[in-house]
Amino acid sequence: MQVKSNNYTGVKKWVDERLPVFSFVEDNLTNYPTPKNLSYFWNFGSLAGITLVIMIVTGILLAMQYTANSDLAFDSVERIMRDVNNGWLLRYLHMNGAHMFFIVVYIHIFRGLYYGSYKSPREILWMLGVTILLLMMATAFMGYVLPWGQMSFWGATVITNLFSAFPIIGESIVTFLWGGFSVDNPTLSRFFVLHYLLPFAIVGVVVLHIVALHMHGSNNPLGIDVKSDGDTIPFHPYYTVKDYYGLGVFLIFYLGLVFFAPNFLGHPDNYIPADPLVTPAHIVPEWYFLPFYAILRAVPDKLMGVLLMFSAVAVLFILPWLDTHKVRSSQFRPYYKQFFWLFFVNCFVLGWVGAMPAEGIYVTISRIATAYYFIFFLVIMPLLSKFEKGRVLPSSIASSVLSDKFESAPDQSFAK
Amino acid sequence: MAKKIIENKYQESTETKIDTEKRDFLFLTTGGLAIAGGALTAWSLINTMNPAKDVLALSSTEVDLTPIDEGQSLTVMWRGKPVFIKHRTQIEIQEAREVDIDSLKHKDLDESRVKNPSWLVVLGVCTHLGCVPLGQKVGDAKGDFGGWFCPCHGSHYDTSGRIRKGPAPLNLEVPPYEFVSEEIIKIG
């Protein structure tokens, strides 16, 4: 067998010939060629990875203090808050870390949507990303159940009951999920186990996500391919420094929440112990589920509502085949750009009506917003792929970086 | 010379006389058995997550009805779920029975939902997404039809626990129960 030669000497050479740790780091991190025009929107991938690590570390430490039993869970969380050394810090880091994780990942996804990062040859990269999102949603939902407060209990009840909408097998699925006839101790203990397990599944998919990314490298704000070495710079030190800076800004925001408003994004009802006999007046999911919750409630039929809500995530999987326009970046797609921003605002509208009671004007708004959510993907994207005439693309990343320096209005220079 | 013949025989048996039918048979039977064995193993593992025997054992509750006056309600727990027991007034019974059955979303006669018209026994679980409807306590919102009102997504139930308005698809479920004596019922 031919041994891959390396340029190292001594121990480094000996090790690398047996386990390619040094050449791996060099190929994938330090010398890894990266487009030279990446903006700060490209920070959110590494931020998501760092957040995942923070969640796993704080989560493992919390699991050492937490008791997954319906009689003890609530009190064990209060014990973490009051008696465990820095327990309050652990829990607030973990709780707000979940919020930050979704903020970072949603920005990451919108960036992908805006710059066409899901297009050929990055379809599988995108689909792996959607898989991560799904796993994150399941993990976050089950994590929210663990403190066994009122919102935990009733959130678990409402969400697991979604499966009862399926004809014939629905009831058996729900009983199976619960391990009983209501959300109770068996439900709590399995949710805890899965909440501990799934993050490691996420780590696995993240590794695949990065392998797929490194096949063709990062997309970039221009959305054009890297054509020569002149278009790239090594990841280290240029992007390690940029990522570090972004991390600093991220931490100010994140720790600002942890130290000054740790319960800002939470719900006070979850500090009331779970009571199977009393449903809180307003059951509202965490903010990151609100747009999907709004879609669920927009439909008067139970089964259709559930199917539509699942479709709202599922549609992302086939996105690369709905938008087949050759131009990736919205910068060169004047019409797509407008529909994209409308879609962006629409997601916030969905989130807002998802938090409102399902009556009166809110129902109407949620129906219009739900309609646009799906029309954007299923009608506008295929139509624009066919009829939109993109602007003229710059000849290379390097040339556009240079023209940035010499011309005051680079956008128009591309247009001609 | 002898050696060569053996070699030829060996080659013949491996290369020219492969019994493909036999191979297919072996492949299909082995594969089929592996799939069946795998499915059985998977099911026995998955089934551990279904309700355990101790959970199933908690499946009946006896309730003494004597302390519940006419017009009052009692909530008891059965299988981890609330059960609403309502001692209905004559007016409430009348309301439940005078409804035009064809106007209902989930058509069910009040007569078939009770064993004794004075006593309505239903699961206190909204058939939409499983919240506990209001209406058991004095001062609770009882909805537009005098029964129960679910605060989660606005379902209204009548004095027979039937869905009259809102997103819930079905009437409140009547659990299996029987009158052990005049004043005691056994749920489950």
* Minimum Cα–Cα distance from A358: chain B residue: B153
Angle subtended at Cα A368 by Cα A365 and Cα A369, rounded to the nearest 5 degrees: 85
Domain boundary among B27, B50, B73: B50
Do B45 and B77 fall into the same domain? Answer: no
**From CA A25, how far away is CA A32, in angstroms rounded?**
9
State the burial class of residue A303 (Cβ atoms within 10 Å of its Cβ: 0-12, 13-18, 19+): middle
Do B162 and B112 fall into the same domain? Answer: yes
Structurally, how many domains does chain A consist of?
1
| Span B24-33, average pLDDT | 95
Angle subtended at Cα A175 by Cα B147 and Cα B126, rounded to the nearest 5 degrees: 15
Provide the pairing of β-strand B81-87 with B184-187: unpaired
Residues in A closer than 8 angstroms to B77, CB to CB, are 276-277
Active site residue A404: no
The two structure tokens encoding residue A336: 């797509």
Instruction: Establish if A2 belongs to a structural domain.
Output: no
Residues in B closer than 8 angstroms to A192, CB to CB, are none
pLDDT of residue A5: 62
The catalytic residue among A16, A26, A243, A323 is: A243
Do B118 and B177 fall into the same domain? Answer: yes
Provide the pairing of β-strand B155-158 with B146-150: antiparallel
* Minimum Cα–Cα distance from A306: chain B residue: B129
Mean pLDDT score across all residues of chain B: 86
Query: Cα A13 vs. chain centroid, distance in angstroms?
Result: 40
Instruction: Establish if A15 belongs to a structural domain.
Output: no
Instruction: Establish if A368 belongs to a structural domain.
Output: yes
Flag if B51 and A302 touch (Cβ within 8 Å): no
Residues forming beta bridges with residue B85, ordered by sequence position: B74, B121
Residues in A closer than 8 angstroms to B168, CB to CB, are 302
Domain that holds residue A99: 35-401
pLDDT of residue A263: 96
Q: Among partner residues B80, B129, B151, which is closest to A180 by beta-carbon distance?
A: B80
Mutate to test the interface with B, among A181, A189, A295, A301 (most CBs of B within 10 A): A181
* Minimum Cα–Cα distance from A176: chain B residue: B50
**From CA A270, how far away is CA A155, in angstroms rounded?**
10
Residue-wise pLDDT tens for chain A (416 aa)? 455 567 899 999 999 999 999 999 999 999 999 999 999 999 999 999 999 999 999 999 999 999 999 999 999 999 999 999 999 999 999 999 999 999 999 999 999 999 999 999 999 999 999 999 999 999 999 999 999 999 999 999 989 988 988 988 998 999 999 999 899 999 999 999 999 999 999 999 999 999 999 999 999 999 999 999 999 999 999 999 999 999 999 999 999 999 999 999 999 999 999 998 888 878 889 999 999 999 998 987 888 989 999 999 999 999 999 999 999 999 999 999 999 999 999 999 999 999 988 778 998 999 999 999 999 999 999 999 999 998 999 989 988 877 655 444 444 444 43
- In this predicted structure, the answer to whether residue B9 has a pLDDT above a threshold of 60 is no
pLDDT of residue B1: 46
Cβ within 8 Å of residue A348, ≥6 positions away: none
Instruction: Establish if A249 belongs to a structural domain.
Output: yes
Flag if B131 and A283 touch (Cβ within 8 Å): yes
The catalytic residue among A16, A26, A231, A286 is: A286
- A357 preceded by cis ω (within 30°)? no
What CATH number is associated with residue B154?
2.102.10.10
**What would the pLDDT profile of B137-155 be if each residue is shown by its tens digit?**
878 888 888 889 988 878 8
Domain boundary among B50, B66, B82: B50
Element containing residue B73 per DSSP (H, E): strand B73-78
Active site residue A227: no
Q: Among partner residues A161, A179, A358, which is closest to B130 by beta-carbon distance?
A: A161
Do B74 and B42 fall into the same domain? Answer: no
Q: Among partner residues A179, A184, A297, which is closest to B153 by beta-carbon distance?
A: A297
Smallest CA–CA separation between A281 and chain B, in Å? Answer: 6
A360 touches chain B (CB under 8 A): no
CB-CB contact of A156 with A274 (8 Å): no
Cβ within 8 Å of residue B108, ≥6 positions away: B160, B162, B171
Do B33 and B68 fall into the same domain? Answer: no
Element containing residue A17 per DSSP (H, E): helix A10-18
Element containing residue B186 per DSSP (H, E): strand B184-187
What radius of gyration, in Å, describes the C-alpha atoms of chain A? Answer: 24
pLDDT of residue B16: 65
Instruction: Establish if A126 belongs to a structural domain.
Output: yes
DSSP string, A37-79: T--GGGGHHHHHHHHHHHHHHHHHHHHTT---STTTHHHHHHH
What radius of gyration, in Å, describes the C-alpha atoms of chain B? Answer: 31
Nearest to residue B96, comparing CAs of B82, B84, B113? B113
Do B103 and B10 fall into the same domain? Answer: no
Nearest to residue A235, comparing CAs of A50, A49, A25, A404? A25
* Cβ contacts from A onto B, under 8 A: 75
What CATH number is associated with residue A138?
1.20.810.10
Structure-model confidence comparison of residues B6 and A94, the more confident one:
A94
Q: Which of A:76-135 have CB within 8 Å of B?
A: none
Instruction: Establish if A3 belongs to a structural domain.
Output: no
Question: What is the side-by-side strand order in the sheet with B163-165?
Answer: B146-150, B155-158, B163-165
pLDDT of residue B17: 77
Residues in A closer than 8 angstroms to B55, CB to CB, are 179-181, 184, 186
Element containing residue B45 per DSSP (H, E): helix B20-46
Structurally, how many domains does chain B consist of?
2
CB-CB contact of A137 with B108 (8 Å): no
Do B23 and B95 fall into the same domain? Answer: no
Active site residue A94: no
* 3-state class (DSSP) for residue B86: strand
Residues in B closer than 8 angstroms to A158, CB to CB, are 129-131, 152
Do B79 and B40 fall into the same domain? Answer: no
Q: Among partner residues A180, A278, A282, which is closest to B132 by beta-carbon distance?
A: A278
Instruction: Establish if A81 belongs to a structural domain.
Output: yes
pLDDT of residue B15: 57
Do B114 and B130 fall into the same domain? Answer: yes
pTM of the full predicted structure?
0.86
Do B116 and B27 fall into the same domain? Answer: no
pLDDT of residue B57: 79
Do B180 and B89 fall into the same domain? Answer: yes
Q: Among partner residues A164, A179, A183, which is closest to B50 by beta-carbon distance?
A: A179
CB-CB contact of B159 with A190 (8 Å): no
pLDDT of residue A412: 46
Residue at token pair 């299923």: A378
* Nearest-10 Cα torsion for B101, B104, B106, B110: -40
Smallest CA–CA separation between B69 and chain A, in Å? Answer: 21
Q: Among partner residues B129, B154, B169, which is closest to A158 by beta-carbon distance?
A: B129
* Nearest-10 Cα torsion for A216, A219, A224, A225: -20
Q: Which of A:286-325 have CB within 8 Å of B?
A: 297, 300, 302
Active site residue A389: no
CB-CB contact of A29 with A236 (8 Å): yes
Cβ within 8 Å of residue B67, ≥6 positions away: B74
* Minimum Cα–Cα distance from B170: chain A residue: A302
Do B136 and B168 fall into the same domain? Answer: yes
Domain that holds residue B145: 56-187
Active site residue A323: no
Over A79-147, what HEC string results? HHHHCCCCHHHHHHHHHHHHHHHHHHHHHHHHHHHHCCCCCCCCHHHHHHHHHHHHHHHHHHHHHHHCC
* 3-state class (DSSP) for residue A311: helix
CB-CB contact of B165 with B155 (8 Å): yes
Nearest to residue A226, comparing CAs of A49, A369, A34? A34
**What would the pLDDT profile of B48-72 be if each residue is shown by its tens digit?**
999 988 888 777 888 898 888 888 8
Neighbours of B61 (CB within 10 A): 16
Instruction: Establish if A336 belongs to a structural domain.
Output: yes
* 3-state class (DSSP) for residue B150: strand
